[in-house]
Amino acid sequence: MPEASVAAPQLDPHRHSVRAFARRLFALTRKEVRQLLRDKSNLSIGLLLPVILMLIFGYGLSLDVKNAPIAVVMDDSSPTAMEAVVGLQLSPFLSPIMLTSMREAEAKMLAREVDGIVRVPSNYSSELAAGHGSIQVIVHGAEASRASIILNYVTATLAQQGVRSLDRVGGIGKGGLGYIDVESRLWFNESNTSTWYLVPGLIVLIITLVGAFLTALVMAREWERGTFEALFVSPVKPVEILLAKIIPYFCVGIIGLAMCLVTARFLFGVPIMGSLLILLFASVLYLLVALGIGLLISSVTKNQFMASQVSLLVSLLPVLMLSGFMFDLRNVPLPISIIGHLFPATHFMSLIKTLMLAGNVWPQIIVQCSILIAYAVFFISAARFVTRKRLD
């Protein structure tokens, strides 16, 4: 009798294609990881440079003014006049230098030995007894921001001390009225230091450096060496190539992000007032945006020099100048502010500063995360489209 034929098991073509995709992606990713580990320079840029930048910018860059030298000229040597400037000596932001003549003070100002001059006129005591005393304050204005800060410190200190002096001599207090004691508090930067303002921006800069700049250079170098041409003749697909390129540098960026957050929190004392999970989620979104920008630049230029120049223009410089890293975009002309808001770094900069210093402001979180998702989809899709066109 004839043997019964056994039907061969049929394979699910969809499952087979998924397995083949995973196998090719794993092989390509392993190759990229090995190549990344062999290239010590790129690995050091991705892991060592973030810490160096955090230390340099955190300790070396400061917008604060402390111990500013101020010349004090006392034309009135009465106890009342001396009491008017005693607050300058107690301020941690000012370092007063007592002088005897205005000419000497002007000479020190011209030599940049002092940043300002406080002059108490000879009739200060008599004017104060009459209810109004005036003190002249002159500040070197070559550095506008520094001059403004010093002027605010000096005038606030003199005004506070002047109110107390007026109360003692009877200029205030007549009719049962006393001076007002102002209790002030600084929100969202309780330490009143520029480090809390700058460190969150450094995280944006470092993610941009690893995601866009470094990725664009490495990819462009492979275009120059012909590595991509060797991959194009293999069965791999463009999306597998791009994913294999994204995964290693995504991991490097996540490690750099973790190092930055640890350094910011425990070395510089920057708080994280909002949710850490939301902060990580937003950082991952921006990292994907930066990786997409780097892949798109390298696919278009195919040249390391051009990739570095384009990356500098569209990623690093906007982070430094147009994202709110150094100054508020509300203080620039409207066209410049509009241009700045076209860059994804501006939206992530606003979001990370809010999450670290203010907390979970949900309307801003939803809006900014939605914008970052749109940018990530756009740039990664554009990079895939450009790479696919080059394969045709």
pLDDT of residue 46: 77
pLDDT of residue 13: 61
Q: Give the chain's end-to-end CA distance (angstroms, integer).
A: 57
Half-sphere exposure of 346 (CA within 13 A, CB side): 19
Find the Cα–Cα–Cα–Cα dihedral 42, 48, 52, 54, rounded to 10°.
Answer: 100
Count of Cβ atoms closer than 10 Å to residue 316 Cβ: 17
pLDDT of residue 173: 43
pLDDT of residue 112: 84
pLDDT of residue 179: 43
Residues in the chain: 392
> Tens of pLDDT along the chain (392 residues)?
455 455 545 545 656 677 888 888 888 888 888 888 887 777 777 788 888 888 887 777 777 788 889 999 998 888 888 888 888 888 888 999 999 889 999 888 888 899 989 998 888 888 777 767 788 889 888 777 788 888 888 888 887 765 555 455 444 444 433 444 445 566 777 777 788 888 898 899 889 988 888 888 877 877 777 777 677 677 778 788 888 888 888 998 899 899 889 999 998 889 999 999 999 999 999 999 999 999 899 888 888 888 888 888 888 888 888 888 877 788 788 898 899 999 999 999 999 999 998 889 999 999 999 999 999 999 999 988 887 645 44
pLDDT of residue 175: 40
- For residue 113, how far is the Cα from the chain centroid? 32
List every span in the chain annotated with CATH 3.40.1710.10.
68-176
What's the whole-model pTM score? 0.80
Tell me the two tokens of residue 42: 């790129």
pLDDT of residue 275: 94
Domain 68-176: CATH superfamily is abc type-2 transporter like domain (3.40.1710.10)
Amino acid identity at 340: G
Count of Cβ atoms closer than 10 Å to residue 228 Cβ: 18
- Listed in sequence order, the residues at least 6 apart from 39 whose beta carbon sits closer than 8 Å to its beta carbon are 218
* Cβ contact 141:147 at 8 Å: yes
Q: Is 131 left (phi over 0), alpha (psi -120 to 50) or beta?
A: left
d(CA 220, CA 250): 18
Q: Which residue has the tokens 């300002």?
A: 116
